Each structure stands twice: as structure tokens, then as C-alpha cells.
Amino acid sequence: MAENEPLVRWLGGANVLISRLFIADAATNVGRAIRVVGRAAATTAFDGGRGFAGEAGCRLLAIVVVCLAMVGCEREAAYPSRPITLVCPWAAGGGTDRVSRQMAAHLETELGVPVNVINATGGKGVTGHSRGLDARPDGYTLSMITLELNMMHWSGLTRLTPDDCIPLMSVNEDYAALFVRGDAPWQTLPELEQAIREQPGRLKASGTASGGAWHLALAGWLLAANFQADDVVWVSSTGAGPSLQELLSGGLDMVCCSLPEAESLFRAGELRALGVMSPERVEGYEKIPTFVEQGTDWTLGGWRGLAFPLGTPEPRVERMTAAILRVVRGETAIRTAEGDSTFPDFMRAAGFNNEARGPDEFRRFMAENDEKFGRLLTSEAMRSVNVDRFSPMTFPNLLLALFGATLVSLGVQRWWQRRAAVAVADEAPRTSAAATTEGDLGSERLPSITIRGRDSFVLVVLAVSAYVMLVETVGFVLMVAGLLAGLMVWFRVRPWVALLIGLAAAVIVYQVFANVLRVPLPGGWLGW
């Protein structure tokens, strides 16, 4: 025992050193590993030092254990140490996308790591908000949340509420406006209202998903003007950008969105703004009258802000909040064709209202909005806004039904083959029937679906389902490599070949998307 005292003392010193260098959780894990090795050294004596090259071997073993235990340890002060994902729940080209990309560019300068924007569209905002707020709470997934977070759960679209995130800062608040094409026959809001009155249900509008902020803005205007909420047909879309393009192509009669979202088309004369849903005229757009001025008492605006998933470590929340604050104050700049530009410079030039609220004020603001929209969206007058032709689970349920029907049809066909085989066996001569197997009988009359073929079909479907459900948690590379290798082994590829191909394919696809296309894929447990 005495001959191992130097080793035990060395291990104890290493434990103290690591405890000072690394965060508490990592130090605890490393310390435990060191103590385990120390006890093993003290109790076994390593065969008197002969079997393990004496004290030098003990020291080497301890170093190896410490190095292995430190794998994955990060200095908290080093955050961030890898690329950050900013999830935008709306389509490219819209206002939320533009604000997100500017914020990402400035955060890259402030944080010193890439900040990649992902447009996770669909589900009326549910897809993007869910992807961002349900992500791993490690500080590497940031969400650009919008007004829809105050609305979606009241419409029964999701369980997410403002309480399911850590609000960092609101960066923008804009009021809705109503646009028509520059060559449209309506010059003012009253003229458009008269056209709706003469032919209710003929005109079409868009700007976002059905039940989204701009849909609510338009429906609220119609109700305030004594129309029915469906007197203008709402066409669901993934954001203002696609809606404006559809308006110009003649597929829509009007678009409801914020002024900055239509800034370039409006300034170019391709669009006409009939009114803005603000209490007073908007700075920079003084020529556009408010709805109130034109006889309709209705106002509504949207907001955008940044948030982390619940459970994100407080030091990382504070670090990101401080970085965002510097950005919105204009303390960071990026180089553009016109020279250095700050985030407030972009917001002013694009016509966005640069409304910043800190974490506590932002939380209170969302709570107040949530209560307001809860009363509005559950009222009888607005019930039609929440009613869709298809529920959010219609298509997933349809796919599940098709999958079930496929399995049933395979089972029925298998049963029919067995029945046909038995019938053939009964009709055949007794001597030939004894020499004929069930698999051979009737094989020429009916196509055979083997058990392995059926199982292969089910396995592929399960693999795709597992990818969809687990990729955010496990990570793209691990998930794809594992699934590909497993499927190839099932299809009789040699295990080592399947593993190599699976790993190579997953890594290549990940690198192409993350580094070439700058579309980051889910990181999961290991960050890749």
C-alpha cells in the first residue's frame, strides 16, 4: 500500500487542478474517475509494480483516465465554441426572415462563431417555433419567435405558449397594412370595402398561414367594418414574401402584412397601400392613412423577438442576452456595399420599427398579448378564423391510415395465397401432394409476397419514422449513419462495409449542407 502513496497523492492533486479548471459537473465526473483509479491502485498494488511497470505505469494509467474523462468538457467561459442555429419560422424573403438574417450577421461579429439561419416553415408557424423551442437547451439553438406564439395554442395548433421559452429580447414591432397591386381598381380603403360589400366571398387575400397574425388582422378589420370574417377568402401561405409574389402574378387581390415586408415593391410603385392598422401614421410612411382615419376603428401589429429553449444554462442565457443587447444598441457593425452598417441602421433603412425590450419586459409583454388574443380568438365573432378545412393532424393521420391499409392488404394477400395453396393441395393427387410444399403450391398462379419482403417494408417505414422523431435529439450524423448501416445489414451487406458507407454518406451530406450550403442539420448529443 505504501508504494502506491505517490500515485494516490498525484491523483488527488490532479483532481484539485481539474476542479479549478472546469465547470462543476465536469469536475465531479473527472474527480470520480480519478478516485476510482486511485482506490484500484491502492488496493491491488498492481502486482507490486511488476505487472504494470511500477509507479511510472500507474502515473500513465492515471493520465489516460483523466484525458478520457475530460472528453466533452468545455470551459463555460468558452461559450460559444461552435456554430449557432437561428430558427426562423417563416419563409425566406419575408420580414421575419430579413430581420433574422441581419441579426445572425451581427451576432456572428459579436460572438465570433457562425450563426446560421434555418427557415423552418409550415404548420402555420408551429414547425419553426417547435423546432426552435423544443431543441436541445445547450445555447446553440436560438429562435426568432413571433406574434403567432401568442395565437397558435388558442387555435388548438400546438401546446407551445410563451411560458415554454426563455425570452431574451424583443427586437421589432410593426403594424399590419393592406396592399393591392399598383394597377388595382381600388384607390382607397372605402372603395375596397364597397367591392367586398357588392360581391362577398369573391376577393382573395393572403400574407401568412391561415389563422396567423396577418390573417387575424384582416379578419378583425372585416368584423370591425360590419362584414363576416370570410367575406374575403384567405389563402394560406408560408409568409409575406410568397404572398406578395402571388399578388403581383394575379393570384390574389390583396395582401395583409407589415409595411417593411412590402417596402421594395411599394417604393417601386408595384403595390398600393390602402391603409395601415396603427393608431397613428407610421414614421417613414406618412402618406399612408390609418384605418381609423378612413372610418374603421381597428389596429393590430406584430412583434419579433429572440428566445432560448427552457433549461438553457443561465450563464449562456446571460452571454447571449448581452450579445443581442450590443447588437440592438448598434455597438456592432458589419461591412456592406455602402460601408459599415449597424442593426439599427438596417432596421431604419428597411422601415422596421426597432422596438427592443429586455427579458423581463419582454416576458410581461408576451403575457399581456397572450391574454388579449385569448379573449379575441375564443370569441364567437372570431371563431371562423380558427376553423380550417383540415385539422393539423389530418395529413399525419392520413399517412398512418395508408400505412395501416398497406399492412392489412399484405396480410389479406398472404392469407389468400395460403388458402389457394391449400385448395391446390386438396385437388392434387395424394402422391404429388405429399412432395409439394406450401411455398411451392400455387406459386405459378399467384405472385408471392415473402415474409422477409413484408418485414423489409415495415423496417424501412419504421426507420423513416425513427429519423423524423429522433434526429433532433440524437443528431443527423449519428442517426443517419446508424439507420443506413442497419438497413444495409438487413439487406445482407457486410456489417463493416455497411458501417463505412453509412458513416461516409452521413458525414458527406452533413458537410455539404453545413459548410457549402450553410444549412445546419440537427446536432443532437454530440453536436453533429
Q: Are residues 271 and 178 located together in one domain of the fold?
A: yes
Quote the pLDDT of residue 290: 95
End-to-end CA distance of the chain: 45
Q: Are residues 26 and 53 in the same domain?
A: yes
Pair 262, 231 in one domain: yes
Look at residue 204 and give its three-state secondary structure: strand
Buried b (16+ CB within 10 A) or exposed e, 97-123: bbbbbbbbbbbbebbeebbbbbbbbeb
Answer whether 0.85 is exceeded by the pTM: no
* Domain final position from 41, 73, 105: 73
Cβ atoms 261, 93 nearer than 8 A: no
Note whether 324 and 371 are same-domain residues.
Answer: yes
Instruction: Determine the longest span between alpha carbons in the chain, in angstroms.
Output: 101
Instruction: Establish whether the linkage from the previous residue to 80 is cis, with ω within 30° of 0.
Output: yes
Closest CA to 417 of 448, 373, 391: 448
pLDDT tens for the chain, 528 residues long, are: 444 454 445 445 444 444 444 444 444 444 444 444 444 444 444 444 444 445 544 444 445 444 444 444 444 458 999 999 999 998 888 889 999 999 999 999 999 999 999 998 877 788 899 999 999 999 999 999 998 899 889 888 889 999 999 999 999 888 899 999 999 999 999 999 999 999 999 999 999 887 778 888 898 899 889 998 889 999 888 788 889 999 998 889 999 998 988 988 999 999 999 999 988 898 888 999 999 999 998 888 889 999 999 999 999 999 999 999 999 999 999 988 778 899 999 998 888 888 789 999 999 999 988 988 888 788 776 665 554 555 445 555 666 677 777 777 777 777 877 777 777 676 665 555 445 444 444 444 445 556 777 778 788 888 888 887 777 677 788 888 999 999 899 988 899 999 999 899 988 988 887 666 655 566 666 656
Structurally, the chain folds into a number of domains equal to: 4
Rounded to whole angstroms, the Cα distance separating 225 from 206 reads 19
Q: Could you tell me the residue range of the domain that residue 345 belongs to?
A: 84-165+310-353+363-375
Residue position matching grid coordinates 417494408? 457
**CATH code of the domain in which 217 resides:** 3.40.190.10
Query: Which among 107, 163, 101, 170 has a CA at the least distance from the CA of 133?
Result: 163
Q: Does 327 lie in the same domain as 235?
A: no
Would residue 268 count as lying in a domain?
A: yes
Which domain CATH number covers 341?
Answer: 3.40.190.150
Domain boundary pick from 277, 302, 327: 302
Asked if the structure places residue 153 within a domain, the reply is yes
List, for residues 26-63, the tens digit of each pLDDT value: 444 444 444 444 444 444 444 444 444 455 444 444 45
Q: Is residue 146 included in any domain, yes or no?
A: yes
Does residue 270 sit in the same domain as residue 368?
no
Question: Do 268 and 241 fall into the same domain?
Answer: yes
Report the distance separating Cα 376 and Cα 388, nearest Å: 17
Instruction: Please tell me whether residues 126 and 233 are part of one structural domain.
Output: no
Q: Which of 378, 383, 366 is nearest to 150 (CA)?
A: 366
In a domain, 402, yes or no: no
Q: Which residue from 182, 195, 176 is spatially nearest to 248, judged by alpha carbons?
A: 182
Tell me how far apart the alpha carbons of residues 87 and 261 are, in angstroms, rounded to a whole number: 19
The C-alpha cell that represents 419 in the structure block: 388458402
Q: What is the CA radius of gyration of the chain?
A: 31
190 lies in the same domain as 250 = yes
**Please, how many CA atoms are within 13 Å of residue 516, restricted to the half-sphere of its CB?**
7
Concatenate the DSSP letters of all residues of 354-417 into one string: ---B-HHHHHHHHHHHHHHHHHHHTSSTTHHHH--SS-TTHHHHHHHHHHHHHHHHHHHHHHHH
In a shared domain, residues 276 and 191: yes
**Pair (155, 200) in one structural domain:** no
Q: Answer yes or no: is 483 within a domain.
A: yes
- Render 333-348 in DSSP notation, one character per residue: -EEETTEEE-HHHHHH
Residues 183 and 255 in one domain: yes
Q: Per residue in 143-180, is it b (16+ CB within 10 Å) or e — as a string?
A: bbbbbbbbbbbbbebbebbbebbbbbbbbbbbbbbbbb
